[in-house]
């Protein structure tokens, strides 16, 4: 009995917490499936790019839409599940293009344009400019890629590009496009053909005047695809202070 009493006293004298090993987190099959589904839905970061460009006056809507559709299909073979959504507005002599996809897909779209621009003297898309690129956007505004031709030019009383600064013009540009995108997001159902060619009758107040698109195409403040791609491919070199000091400091 005394021996048993001493053993119990020693057991109470030492706390058990320091002796416990850290617990290894263990998952289950449900957590594994949920993580796999999460990775499947987030295989790439989503970006949105706004483009403007001039087109030849006699080019058909079908030619432009078929060019982009074939390009998207070609890119999709190498960038699986990175589909392109957005909106292409075709004005009489210019286009406004919104594209949503991965960074690699958007990069390939710009490269294809440059290839045609360099190889074809009269490619029907000209003077393209990148207005805005939004990185890592949380969700898409468009569930599909839609094409709409603005057949009847909208009449405006004054040319805002003559009375407003570039900052004001681009602010109105982004605001107006955002309103139009939200309208289409709420009204167009998945699987439908899209807004059609009567936007100028349905929502004329949400359409940008073509003169603004032409103004942005001429503006030197925005990058053309060649400048953007050159900057994208240019390596970043950081020169440390120790590299320009002589004698070089010794490190221990």
192-211 tens-digit pLDDT? 677 778 888 888 888 998 98
Residue 240 has pLDDT above 70, yes or no: no
pLDDT of 82 reads: 79
Q: Is residue 193 part of a domain?
A: yes
Least confident of 2-6, 113-117, 169-173: 2-6
Domain span holding position 171:
44-233
Whether 55 has a pLDDT exceeding 90, the answer reads yes
**Residue 183 lies inside a defined structural domain of this protein:** yes
Do β-strands 145-149 and 125-134 pair in parallel, antiparallel, or remain unpaired?
unpaired
pLDDT of residue 77: 86
31 within a domain of the structure (yes/no): no
Residue 156 is encoded by which pair of tokens? 């405006």
Note whether 131 and 214 are within 8 A (CB).
Answer: no
Return d(Cα 64, Cα 56) in angstroms, integer: 11
Structural domain total, the chain: 1
CATH code for the domain in which residue 114 is found: 3.30.70.100
pTM of the model as a whole: 0.73
Q: In angstroms, what is the C-alpha Rg of the chain? A: 29
Q: Which of 126, 114, 107, 115 is nearest to 64 (CA)?
A: 126
pLDDT 10s digits, 119-151? 777 789 999 999 999 998 888 888 889 999 987
Distance CA 53, CA 182 (A): 23
At 227, list the tokens: 């400048």
Which carries the bigger pLDDT value, residue 78 or residue 55? Answer: 55
- Considering the domain boundaries, does residue 28 fall inside one? no
Cα–Cα nearest to 209, from 163, 155, 165, 162: 155
Residues 102-112: pLDDT tens digits? 988 999 999 99
The answer on pLDDT for 34 being more than 60 is no
244 exposed, middle or buried (CB, 10 Å; 0-12, 13-18, 19+)? exposed
β-pairing, 85-90 vs 47-55, is unpaired
Q: How far, in Å, CA of 117 to CA of 105, rounded?
A: 19
Q: What's residue 98's pLDDT?
A: 96
- Is the preceding peptide bond at 131 cis, omega within 30 degrees of 0? no
8 Å CB contact between 213 and 161: no
- Per-residue model confidence as pLDDT tens digits over 147-179: 999 876 555 545 667 778 889 999 999 999 999
The SS3 call for residue 222 is coil
Q: For residues 156 and 217, what is the distance between their CA atoms, to the nearest angstrom?
A: 19
3-state secondary structure (DSSP) of residue 210: helix
Residue 12 has pLDDT above 60, yes or no: no
List strands edge to edge, sheet with 145-149. Answer: 125-134, 47-55, 94-101, 85-90, 145-149
- Confirm whether 99 is domain-assigned: yes
Residue with tokens 């107040």: 205
Residue 6 lies in a domain: no
């Amino acid at each position: 009995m005394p021996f048993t009493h001493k053993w119990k006293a020693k057991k109470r004298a030492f706390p058990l917490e320091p002796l416990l090993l850290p617990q290894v987190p263990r998952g289950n099959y449900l957590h594994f499936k949920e993580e796999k589904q999460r990775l499947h839905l987030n295989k790439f970061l989503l970006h949105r790019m706004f483009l403007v460009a001039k087109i030849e006056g006699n080019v058909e809507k079908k030619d432009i839409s078929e060019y982009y559709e074939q390009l998207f299909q070609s890119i999709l073979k190498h960038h699986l599940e990175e589909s392109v959504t957005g909106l292409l507005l075709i004005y009489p002599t210019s286009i406004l293009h919104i594209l949503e996809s991965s960074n690699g897909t958007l990069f390939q779209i710009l490269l294809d344009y440059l290839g045609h621009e360099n190889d074809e003297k009269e490619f029907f898309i000209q003077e393209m400019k990148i207005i805005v690129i939004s990185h890592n956007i949380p969700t898409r505004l468009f569930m599909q890629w839609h094409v709409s031709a603005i057949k009847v030019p909208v009449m405006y009383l004054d040319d805002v590009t003559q009375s407003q600064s570039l900052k004001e013009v681009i602010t109105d540009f982004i605001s107006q496009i955002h309103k139009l995108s939200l309208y289409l997001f709420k009204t167009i159902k998945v699987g439908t053909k899209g807004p059609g060619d009567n936007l100028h009758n349905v929502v004329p107040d949400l359409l940008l005047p073509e003169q603004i698109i032409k103004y942005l195409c001429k503006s030197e403040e925005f990058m053309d695809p060649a400048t953007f791609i050159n900057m994208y491919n240019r390596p970043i070199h950081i020169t440390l202070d120790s590299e320009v000091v002589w004698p070089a400091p010794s490190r221990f």
